[in-house]
A and B are shown apart, each in its own frame.
Chain A
Amino acid sequence: MQVSDSKMQVVWEPIADLAKSVNSGSVSALELVEKSLGLIEKHKEFNSIIATTETRAKQRAMQIDSDIADGKTVGRLAGVPFVAKDNFLTFGSETTAASNILKGFEAPYQSTAIEKLEAEGAICVAKANLDAFAHGASTENSDFFTTKNPHDMSKVPGGSSGGSTASVALKLAPFALGTDTGGSIRLPASFCGVVGYKPSYGLVSRSGVVAMASSTDVIGPIASSVEDASLVLDVIAGQDPLDSTTIERCNSYTKLSAVNKPKVGIVKEYMEQGVNPKVKELIIKAADDLKSDGAEITEISIPSLPLSLAAYYIIVPAEISSNLGRYDGQRFGKSINSGDVNDLEENYSRVRQEGFGDEAKRRIMTGTYVLSSGYYDAYYKKAQLVRTKIINDLNEAFNKVDFLMGPVSPQVAWNIGEIADPLSMYLVDIMTVAASIAGLPAISIPCGTVSDMPVGLQLIAPYKQDLKLLSLADLYERRSNG
């Protein structure tokens, strides 16, 4: 299978094949990197990229090519270019998290995920745009610029990993890395029509990734196929001595085997009011497709699920307010000349005033409020209780079915600037946050279009059932492509 773009006539073979070609010497890593960099330049107008890592990428490519010429085998991702969301610490360019406060920050170390990819020969060519600090669902909260949807430049790509998903949709590189805290991989994958995978919490190390909300942040691949996403996951998954919340991995995430008569539950609460009827139709069609592949489809109700959003928007801002504390202008990123301020207090205020965007400030204030003495019990503690209930209810649901399904988003991509009210923007996450606060693996796979805009099917599996989830997604993808 080859993924091609009719407009561009550009083809990225499946990642495994690309790496094979590089390892065999039939194509050079440098050619792939140059191709990718050329496409990035060509599609600049979409604003999916903050910066390229051109010099380092080319050096790495030449090194890989010379290793191969010397007869060495480089790895499973030899020479494969990729794009990383700009909240991954990487060498070769600044790491900004699309925020003014981190502008100018050159990472002194690389995130574990990047290190693992590089160890297999992959080459990071660019850093992708995002909502600053991953706070958002459209990339409109980027402190730099808004990324445009590859399918319609007037629409948002979704967020917060919108730069990464747009890059993959534009085929700037065969895959990208994103982060998903409440839907930030799945939503933009759905809006851009690519595969976005959110692993079980802890399956991929968070070390070296700018933290948003530590208890729900996960790192995952964005690719053109489930097969590619599986291969990338297989490389980055596993315990890391630098992240004590990482969990044991399974043997292989690439051995996608047929799932035998899976029981799939359509989540009733995800198909109710507010969902675009055409989106609903596509989900039902996807269910039918799965059925003809042997799946048993039922409807399942989890009444507490809609509470996820309220719990999420208390717990996550609380963690954000804590995690953003280190951006104080004293050690890295933006700083204020001490001669320009009277005291430390003013220094802190100016750095944060000028360095954080509105959404970061909003979340810091919400989080600070819910953690304040006197409010902690009413908000944070209550939200944690709700979280526990949702986890329990989901576990119970998984006693009845093997997978849950529904849309990723009730709507397709909206116009840039259309959602101005921050609370309305929060509501966009309604169908993605439950898997996040429960730590469950979930995936967005393209399942059709509404008014020419892509729609994503969301499949959710029990905790640590990543391989099964990818297998089911692969099954679905083969049918829908076939």
Chain B
Amino acid sequence: MNDYKTVSGYIPTIGIECHVQLKTKSKLFSGESNDAKSAKPNEAVGHVSFGMPGALPVLNKKAVELAAKAAFALNTKPQNYSKFDRKHYFYPDLPKGYQISQFEEPIILGGYVDILVDGEKKKIGITRAHMEEDAGKSTHPAGKDYSLVDLNRAGTPLIEIVTEPDMHSAAEAKACAKSLYLQMKYADVSDVDLYNGNMRFDVNVSVSKDPSKLGTRSETKNLNSFKSVERAVEFEIARQIELLEKGGGVVQETRGWDDAKQKTFSQRTKEDAHDYRYMPEPDVPPIVLTDEYIDEIQQQIPIMPDEVRSKLNSISLDSSQVESIVSEPSVAYFIIELINHDQETAKIIANWVTGEIAKLVIDSKVNWDEVVKAKNSLITLADMIKSNQLSSTNAKLLLIDVITNNVDPNKLAKERGLLQDSDESSVEQIVLSVIDDNPNAVNDVKNGETKAIGFLVGQVMAKSQGKANPALAKKLLESRLNNS
């Protein structure tokens, strides 16, 4: 690929490492609870995660299943054989003095994710993804002479996804992070709550003038939003170019991200890099997955974002609508179900979920679960528009009640007096009065200015408080004005 977008003559190259917490009930190597959301520090810890003498790791079956699912989400298959290794370093939040990870033979090798940047689709290769246990959490209270360690997170199952250095801009990096996020969300292997650290991104960035040679890279760790991925990459590209332009060199190092200052900062250089002394984990037998097991897992993989997009495109939504629906799998599956049933209804509801309903969700007035559950009522509401019983404006007024109270939209529209008036004689009354009240517009229509018809229809709608059937109003207006 030669069409790099260079920055001041430099080609940026980016690779991502992404940690994904798997949604299991218990930890990767013990029956200890993996749900520490409401637990106090060090409450969700047992002998294994505490690194108690004699406590042995026992692999969680569910975690293997989720990792196998993740393989399909990365467009590949899990390996038939993989095994665990110990990665050694000393820190108080790593109780055993080693992390159980997969080094030599990870559960996932290869694969890719698609990204879309500036309307262009691109494949980002996946080098590998391996299973490992998370470490605990250390905090260093300001001004105190101690640190605090919370081991609740210790032993939480993770997969670490490593991409190829296939990205060449901050936008591509962001798109890749987002794509990984969606793939994991759809495969339902993680809660993907970025705020709570369910997914964390590390970006490897280098710049080079020579397309055949990579520059020295920095690794910025622990980014927990798409925005910070983008900004950190932007910052690193600019920082490295500036260094090189000043005649200096880039140091291979690990950097952190200061979200307040929107800057990366040096954490440790290669000289301080750990020798992890990887060693096969003797306490955990290798993972052996049969072809039958892998096939079974494949059966469980739902429709993934790419297919969702192409389905949504069949009802000609704009791309921001498509992305907003794709971002919520339950809604996406709901719309797809509607598409399979009736495209027109699907389109009406798709417009709602990307418009009024989205606003209601943002304002916490409804949630997506309720929206999906209100399926039948929403279909009825859409049908009422299609059959001219209700204006689309008035239909929107009913959305919140239809979703939260699950009432019959017919009954509700009737109660609120919002049903559309399709009675010719009653609409004609209003048409006549509008014609009387708007002689200028009437003249314009007569002089061939067809736009004015729209204004008159609007007047009819206003006068009927939105109830008049607009198509009927227009038809009556036209016949009146053409005949006089």
Q: Which residues of A contact B (CB under 8 A)?
A: 89, 95, 97, 102, 105, 107-109, 111, 206-211, 213-215, 241-245, 318-319, 321-322, 324-326, 328, 330-332, 338, 344, 348, 368, 371-373, 376, 380
Contacts and interface: CB of A to CB of B under 8 A. Distances in A.
B412 interface: no
B287 to A, nearest CB: 11
Contacts of A242: 56, 58
A463 to B, nearest CB: 15
A363 to B, nearest CB: 14
A326 B57 CA distance: 14
Interface in B33-65: 47, 50-59
A108 B364 CA distance: 46
B98 interface: yes
A330 B94 CA distance: 11
A210 B283 CA distance: 13
B52 A368 contact: no
B90 A348 contact: yes
A244 B59 contact: yes
Contacts of A109: 47, 52
Interface in B102-156: 145-147, 149
B90 A322 contact: no
A206 B56 contact: yes
Given A208-B54, A243-B58, 7 more contacts: A211-B53, A242-B56, A244-B285, A325-B96, A325-B97, A326-B95, A373-B277
B372 interface: no
A95 B275 CA distance: 32
15 contacts: A89-B54, A209-B54, A241-B58, A243-B58, A244-B57, A244-B59, A244-B285, A245-B285, A319-B279, A322-B86, A324-B97, A326-B96, A338-B146, A344-B92, A371-B278
B446 interface: no
Nearest to A209: B54
Nearest to B54: A208
By Cβ-Cβ distance, the 3 closest A-B pairs, closest first, are A325-B97, A371-B277, A214-B282
Contacts, number: 95
Nearest to B52: A108
A344 B91 CA distance: 9
Contacts of A348: 90
B95 A244 contact: no
Nearest to A352: B90
Contacts of B284: 244
A108 B47 CA distance: 8
A243 B29 CA distance: 11
Interface of B: 47, 50-59, 86, 88, 90, 92, 95-98, 145-147, 149, 275, 277-279, 282-285
B92 A332 contact: no
Contacts of B97: 322, 324-326, 328
B238 to A, nearest CB: 33
B88 A322 contact: yes
B55 A332 contact: no
A234 B92 CA distance: 40
Question: How would you classify the secondary structure of chain A's contact residues: helix, strand, loop or mixed?
Answer: loop
A21 B146 CA distance: 58
A326 B98 CA distance: 8
A245 B282 CA distance: 8
A380 B50 CA distance: 28
Contact of A89 (B50, B53, B96, B282): B53
Contact of A207 (B54, B96, B146): B54
Given A244-B57, A325-B98, A380 B52 contact: no
B53 A95 contact: yes
B58 A326 contact: no
B56 A207 contact: yes
A210 B54 contact: yes
A206 B58 CA distance: 12
Nearest to B94: A325
Contacts of B277: 321-322, 368, 371-373, 376
Contact of A322 (B57, B279, B285): B279
A89 B55 CA distance: 10
B59 A326 contact: no
A392 to B, nearest CB: 19
Contacts of B282: 213-215, 245, 319
B50 A210 contact: no
A132 to B, nearest CB: 13
Nearest to A348: B90
Contacts of A111: 54
B54 A206 contact: yes
A325 B92 CA distance: 11
B283 A244 contact: yes
A371 B279 CA distance: 7
Most B C-beta atoms less than 10 A away, residue of A209, A328, A380: A328
A344 to B, nearest CB: 7
Contacts of A373: 275, 277
B275 A372 contact: yes
Contacts of A102: 53
A410 B289 CA distance: 46
A189 B228 CA distance: 64
A442 B145 CA distance: 54
B454 to A, nearest CB: 74
Contacts of B90: 325, 328, 348
A214 B280 CA distance: 11
Nearest to A345: B90
A206 B146 CA distance: 36
A243 B145 CA distance: 39
Nearest to A369: B277
A331 B57 CA distance: 18
Contacts of A319: 279, 282
A338 B56 contact: no
A207 B53 CA distance: 9
Nearest to B57: A244
A245 B54 CA distance: 14
A378 B146 CA distance: 42
A318 B282 CA distance: 11
A1 B83 CA distance: 50
Nearest to B147: A344
A243 B88 CA distance: 21
A292 B49 CA distance: 55
B55 A207 contact: yes
A35 to B, nearest CB: 30
Contacts of A210: 53-54
Given A244-B59, A344-B92, A105 B54 contact: no
Nearest to B284: A244
B56 to A, nearest CB: 5
Contacts of A322: 86, 88, 97-98, 277, 279
A324 B54 CA distance: 11
Contacts of A244: 56-59, 283-285
Contacts of B95: 326, 330-331
Nearest to B146: A338
Given A109-B52, A338-B145, A318 B92 contact: no
A264 to B, nearest CB: 31
